[in-house]
Amino acid sequence: MTKRLEPDFRLGLTGAIVSYLSWGLMPIYWNLLEGAGSVEVIAHRILWSLLFIPLVMAVRGKLRSAWSDIKSIFTSPVTALLLATAACFAGLNWWINVIAVLSGHVVELGIGTFLTPLISVSCGVLFFHERLSRTKTAGVMLAMTGVLIMIVSFGHFPWISLGVSATWGIYGALKKKLMLDAWVSILLEGLMMMPVALGYVFWLSSIGENHFLPTVNPELSLCLAGTGIVASIPLIFFTIAAVNLPMNVLGFCQYISPILTLLLGILFFNERFGWGELFTLLFIWSGIAVFLLAEVHEHRKAH
């Protein structure tokens, strides 16, 4: 019988900080890929991840056990369908992250990532019939008020903010329903997306629009190849964090990412940040604060 390792708080905290710092700073890397199209970037991310992730799994001795899990999953059509749906939402979420940077909407992306935890909570209520206290419901409603302000003040439907939070929330709900090993799930999602990604890259080559040309543009080609490593490293450290940290600590650390993304949009990308954006965030932050206070109160009451 394998001895269960005790959680290592320091290791978990390091994993959480590294993963959320990486996700928060990711727009800088996507900006390096400005010469390529957003869909092409995602296609390369999928393909290069499928080289990197199995390598990490092999080093950790998880590849053999993963293969038996993969075979058992495909004996269940329902599980396979849920996994394919999760892969679609993951791919869509990645694309929104990239297109937000390439189209100059990093501030809107940052606002959306602040919304993500509360959207995930809403998915729990809708899909898993989880119950919220009145205080937590008030927190969610405050955040939704912020969304309404955003719709009015932006002068256009904030699809990047709502899209990035909704796709990740639904993706998380599907992963909760599946309850698969994190590594197996990530590998399977990549394998399911691989035919589309590979087909798209070959199609770009056939029409002369492929940007992965090491002899012509070595810098851009290297950045496209690096998407697999850059995208996988936060997932690896997040897995370490999830195993070793209490959920309340992990939940608190997740706000590192949207803070960094928002600051990047304002300071690095020089995007507009006016009263409309500020009022939106004040309502969202108030909703988060109310929700977290309710969580702390319920935790203390339970213990």
Query: Whole-angstrom Cα distance, residue 105 to residue 78?
Result: 37
pLDDT of residue 247: 62
Q: Which residues contact 39 (CB under 8 A, 6 or more apart)?
A: 95, 200
Residue 295: closest CA among 111, 117, 110:
117
Domain coordinates in residue numbering, the chain: 10-302
Residue 260: closest CA among 89, 20, 14:
20
Residue 197: closest CA among 50, 85, 6:
50
Query: Whole-angstrom Cα distance, residue 275 to residue 10?
Result: 39
pLDDT of residue 223: 95
Structure token digits, residue 257:
């990412």
Residue 129, φ and ψ in degrees, nearest 5: 55, 35
Q: pLDDT tens digits, the chain, 303 residues: what are they?
A: 334 456 788 888 898 899 999 999 999 999 999 889 999 999 999 999 999 888 888 887 878 777 777 777 777 888 888 889 999 999 999 999 999 999 999 999 999 998 887 787 777 777 777 788 888 888 888 888 888 888 888 778 889 999 998 998 888 888 878 777 777 888 888 999 999 999 999 999 999 999 998 888 899 999 999 999 998 888 888 878 877 877 667 777 888 999 999 999 999 999 989 888 888 899 988 988 888 888 777 777 776
Residue 26, φ and ψ in degrees, nearest 5: -55, -35
Query: Whole-angstrom Cα distance, residue 228 to residue 42?
Result: 10
pLDDT of residue 3: 44
